[in-house]
Amino acid sequence: MALNSFQILTLLLLITSSGSTPSPNYLKLPLLLRRPTPPPSATQILSSDTLRLASLCSKSPIVSAATLGSGQYLVTLLLGTPPQTLKLVADTGSDLIWAKCSARTNRTNHPTHSAFFFRKTTSFRPHHCYDSTCRLVSHHRVSHCNHTRRHSPCRYSYAYSDGSETTGVFSVEKSTLSTSSADRVEFENISFGCAFHLAGASLTGGAFSGAQGVMGLGRGPISFSTQLGRKFGNKFSYCLMDYTISPPPSSFLTIGKYQNDSVLRFTPLISNPLSPTFYYISIRHVYINKSKLRIDPSVWALDQFGNGGSIIDSGTTLTFFPKPAYEKIFSALDQLLADVPSPEEPTPGFDLCLNMTDAPRNLRLPRLKFKLAGGAAFEPPPRNYFIATEEGVMCLAVRPVGSDSGFAVIGNLMQQGFLFEFDRVKSRVGFSRHGCALGD
C-alpha cells in the first residue's frame, strides 16, 4: 500500500524526532506578549482584524499579528546547531512554520535574533523540490524545480490578502524548545519555511518588529502542532491571559495532554475540506442573561461550498459573527443597556459604546452564553466582550461579518482566561476556566 505525503511526513517525524521531555505527556511553553510602541488603539485593532478576516474569508494563507500588533502571542523557538533564538507568532489560523532567514555569516550589520542565519548552523538542510514533503507547502509549484540541477531546493511562496508576501526555501532543521520548567527539549527534524524575502507593509513595517516569523498551529500536515503531535498524543492547548493587565499574567502553549478530561467541557471539531486549516466548531444557540435569542440555526451552519460555520482563532483579537446573528445580539444588549449613557464621541467602528464614568455604580453588564454542539456551554465573562477603547469608555468587542453568508470567528479576546485544548484524535475542542495559571 503506497503512503500518501501526509503519512510520509508523519513517519519521518516519528523516526527522526528525539530528545527526552520533562513529562511523558506534554511540553509547556511560555507565550510571550509583545506590546507595540505605542500600543494599538481599538480602532487600529479593528482595522487589523478586518484585514485578517478578509484573509480568512478568502481561504488564502494568512499571518497573524502581522498588522498593527493584533494577536501578539509569541513562542520562543531555538533553531539550528548551535541553536539560534527566534520569536514566532502562535497562530491557529495558519499551517506553515516560517522564520526570516539571512544568508550572511557576519552579523555586524544584521543584529542577532533579527533573523535565522542558516550558514551559522551545521544541521540546516533544504527539502528537495521533488520530495513528497515539498508538495505539502501551499502554493508550491513543481515547475519551480530546476531540471538541470541535482540539488534543486523546495521553494515556496505565500501571498497575503493585503499584498504582503513571504518567499523562501522549505527546509529541515534541528529545533530546541524551552519549557516553562526551564528544561530544553530537542527534535532533530522540523520542517519550516526559511524566508529570504518579505514584501508588503504587514511583514516589513514596525508592527511586525519583535517577531521573526510565524508558528502555524493549524490542522494541516506541515503545522507545528501536527509535526510534534504524534509524539504527544495529537493534542495541544493554550491559555491566553488578559493582556490589558499590566504586567500581564503569563500565558502558555502546551503540546500534548495537559488537563484531565474531567476538568474540560467538549464540543466536536468540524472538518471543512475547503478550509482544512481551521478549527471549526458548531454554535447552536446564544443566550443573554439566560434568555435564548431567536437566531435561525442556519445562520451558524457550514454549507456544502465551505461557507459559514464558526472557527476558533488565536490570531484575531475581536469576535465576528454573521450579520443576522450580530444584529440579534446587538439589539438585545442595546435594550438591556438603554439606561447607560453613551459617550459624546463613540469609538469609530464600534456600534455599542458605554460612558462608564456616568454609568450606575451597581451596573452589571449582560452575560453571554453560547450553547455548542455536544451540549457544552461557553460562558465568557463580560470583560471578554466589552473592552475599554478610551478613558471611561467601553465598547462591545463583537463585530458583524460583512456578508450574510459570512462565518463566525471566536477571537483571542473572547478566549482569555480559558484553557482551550485541541484534541485531534477524538476531533474535539475542550475548554475550562481552570488550569490557566502557569504554575498550575
What positions carry a catalytic annotation?
91, 313
Please compute, for residue 346, the number of CA atoms within 13 A of its CA located in the half-sphere on the CB side: 11
Q: Nearest Cα to 202, choosing from 402, 42, 55?
A: 55
State which H helix or E strand residue 73 sits in.
strand 73-79
Q: How many helices (H) and strands (E) does the chain have?
A: 6, 27
Residues facing 219 on adjacent strands: none
- Please state, in angstroms and rounded to a whole number, the distance separating the CA atoms of residues 99 and 88: 7
Q: In what order do the strands lie in the sheet with 319-322?
A: 279-281, 310-312, 408-410, 319-322, 398-401
Alpha helices by DSSP H, 244-369 = 323-336
Provide the grid cell at 350: 464600534
State which H helix or E strand residue 267 sits in.
strand 265-268
Collapsed DSSP state (helix, strand, coil) of residue 377: strand
Cβ(116)–Cβ(86) under 8 Å?
yes
Cβ(198)–Cβ(164) under 8 Å?
yes
State which H helix or E strand residue 43 sits in.
helix 42-58
Provide the grid cell at 240: 491566553
Strand stretches in 314-424, DSSP E? 319-322, 353-355, 368-372, 377-378, 386-390, 393-396, 398-401, 408-410, 419-423
Provide the grid cell at 244: 490589558
Phi/psi-derived region of residue 154, left when phi > 0, alpha when psi is between -120 and 50, beta in every other case:
beta
Residues facing 79 on adjacent strands: 84, 175
| Angle, vertex CA 207, rays to CA 396 and CA 87, nearest 5 | 105
- Please state, in angstroms and rounded to a whole number, the distance separating the CA atoms of residues 155 and 211: 22
